[in-house]
Amino acid sequence: MNRKERFIMFVFLGAIARDISQGTRDSQLIVLQADRIPAGRIPLNPWNAAKVFLAFVDGRTRPHRWML
């Protein structure tokens, strides 16, 4: 798996966990938004990138440059 695929997988798993814990149904929209990020802009560690992206989606942080 390349970096983008790992990033999308981590975002998807985190979004599903968020849906279960908060009772929402936003996981597909979150993954679609994450899929719009170009592969070359995703940081080297896709796990940390997914955590930061999910924090942004939850409104806990501002978007980083690589997300825009």
Q: What are the residue ranges spanned by the domains of the chain?
A: 3-67
Contact assessment for residue 40 and residue 11, using Cβ atoms and an 8 Å cutoff: no
The pLDDT assigned to 68 comes to 83
CA distance 43 to 24: 28
Per the confidence metrics, is the pTM higher than 0.85? yes
Own/partner contacts of 31-38, CB < 8 Å, gap of 24 or more, are 33/57, 34/7, 34/8, 35/8, 37/7, 37/66, 37/67
Which tens digits make up the pLDDT trace of 6-54? 999 999 999 999 999 999 999 999 999 999 999 999 999 999 999 999 9
